[in-house]
Amino acid sequence: MLIDLSKILTHEGMQQNVEMIPEGDKFSCKLGEFSYAEKFPVMLSIVHTNDQVLKITGEGRVSIWIPCSRCLEPVLHTFSIQIEEEADMKLTDQERIEALDESSFIQDKVLDTEKLLHNEILIRWPMRVLCKEDCKGICSRCGANLNQGSCDCDTADLDPRMAVISDIFKNFKEV
């Protein structure tokens, strides 16, 4: 959703409240595409505080299916969105990007709420998602989900540098 900020910038103290719901069925980032499970309205408040400075606040939540870091089963993760941004509209678009240390969600006095929400989700993206604390993951040889049962793969991972010694032990077992 694009919001024209030129009207808000005409008077100090002017405020605009906006309700937005994320567009599309998937959240896309460098990690891949992730399906939204639930999209709740995010309430934004845009206030012209003083001298061409906008304060953008908002809150909401969104639920996304993220694969478990060990077994790759989908896990429902709910993000609590808390937006608190300040934008100095006297700055150029490039200066504003450098000041925020992120991609700009305001260009030419137009607020892109999708970019703003995208940035907030990325900030809150978890380092690791587990389906359960004791997730066993997948077999490194056959790819079977070890939470659903064991596989028949050989679990003895020997250091390749010790293979010669392993052969010696096999010879003793055969005798």
User: pLDDT at position 133, please?
Assistant: 93
pLDDT at 164: 76
- Which residue is it, tokens 């998602």? 129
Local confidence pLDDT in tens for the 175 residues of the chain: 898 888 888 888 889 999 999 888 999 999 999 999 998 999 999 999 888 888 999 999 999 999 999 999 999 999 999 999 888 887 776 776 676 655 578 888 888 999 999 999 999 999 999 999 999 999 888 888 999 988 888 766 667 777 777 777 777 765 5
Q: Which of 124, 130, 132 has its CA nearest to residue 29?
A: 124
pLDDT score of 57: 94
**Closest by alpha carbon to 41, among 10, 26, 56, 20?**
20
Q: Which residues of 115-127 are buried (b: 16+ CB within 10 A; e: fewer)?
A: bbbbbbbeeebee
3-state SS string for 40-100: CCEEEEEEEEECCEEEEEEEEEEEEEEECCCCCCEEEEEEEEEEEEEEECCCCHHHHHHHH
- At a CB cut-off of 8 Å and minimum separation 6, what does 138 contact? 70, 71, 72, 144, 145, 146
Sequence-distant (≥ 6) Cβ neighbours of residue 18 within 8 angstroms = 1, 3, 43, 44, 45, 46, 113
